[in-house]
Amino acid sequence: MSEEANNITLSLGQDYPEIREAVIRICESYPGEYWRELEEKCDYPTAFVRELTAAGFLSALIPQEYGGAGLPLRAAAVILETINSTGCNASQCHAQMYIMGTLLRHGSVAQKQKYLPLIASGALRLQAFAVTEPTTGSDTTKLKTRAVRQGDHYVVTGQKVWTSRALYSDLMLLLARTTPLDQCKKKTDGLSVFLVDIPGNLGKGLDIRPLKTMFNHNTTEVFFDGMKVPAENLIGDEGQGFRYIMDGMNAERILVATESVGDGRFFIKKAVNYANERVVFDRTIGKNQGIQFPLARAYAQLEAADLMVRRAAAMFELNQPCGEAANISKLLASEACWMAAEAAIQTFGGFAFAREYDIERKWRETRIHQVAPISTNMILAYIGQHVLGLERSY
């Protein structure tokens, strides 16, 4: 960590209590039964997202001049953490918070004036982020989707995968190659970011297909076949898209890490309550060290992860380099959350697999945190190379 990172102040405990209380009140109207029914139908939590939007929570990071709340990243993190801690699922709407940053930081004044107020009000949803491709995965600079300039528009061809919420979003942030890789001095050059009108392009060179997964994530495959994007929808300068996308990765990792913290709190609370009530062999199972110790260890690791997440958010707000802190936060929080999930499964025993308890649902939702966005191994590779100074391993 840099010397500057030593000069930060962290709020401990239940910071932003008013936000937490307001989010909890909304989440109370969407109990486990709501999420289980959605999963059975592979449906999207439209009512839940609409209520969060109406309350202003999904526009927390949009400046007030564009109709948002203009809150710091930590406040947005508290919103997502609280959602998950209640048993709800913030991943169905979290992308709007960190995708919006690319438009806010690198979009033109005209683009911000046109889109941000509509996003803040809920008139437009910006939930889809099209970067990953089936043949390149994490090797983003090798992506094959092309956007070729033709007059006043670009023609896009290619394919994306794991583009979540594309069927429930009005806008899509798209990363495509505008200059062939073999014509670029650096492999990170020649990539550009576009804002795509999804409804206006469906059936006109844009095809979106649902991709069923182990939990209800509403993810999709996206196919581009001559889709036209107006040149005015290019965000920033052509060829600088990779830098724009990377600029938002720290915020993404911090926000998703707080979701892991929220999930972990959900598991521990549910398991502790169950352990204090469940009686076997004439005693509560919570008296057994086999139950206590895994929960205690998970709680300790979750608290440590939470501190790291708060540190990363504070550094982000101070515009300090926070790549190390953001990546470590994501690593620690995802693993602490998974430990809490496993401890809850063991505590509930057979009942953990009964859908009505929501343990198995949240267990499935939680596992993705160690894979996406950014896998644990990619984080370890980043730490090894960029923090410890070891030779690049891939």
Enumerate domains of the chain plus CATH numbers: 4-125 (1.10.540.10), 127-240 (2.40.110.10), 246-387 (1.20.140.10)
Side-chain-facing half-sphere of 147: CA atoms under 13 Å: 25
pLDDT confidence band for 9 (50 / 70 / 90): confident
Instruction: Give the per-residue pLDDT at 3.
Output: 55
Q: pLDDT tens digits for 164-178?
A: 999 999 999 999 999
pLDDT tens profile 95-127:
888 888 899 999 999 999 999 999 999 999 999
Which residues make beta-bridge pairs with 129? Answer: 173
Section 37-50 average pLDDT: 96
pLDDT at site 98: 86
What is the phi/psi pair of residue 148, to 5°? -110, 125
Beta strands in 264-310 (DSSP E): 279-280, 283-284
pLDDT given at position 1: 55
Strand 126-130 versus strand 171-177 pairing type = parallel
**Residue 83 contacts residue 34 (beta carbons within 8 Å):** no
In order of 72, 281, 319, 322, the CA distances from 316 in angstroms are 9, 51, 5, 6
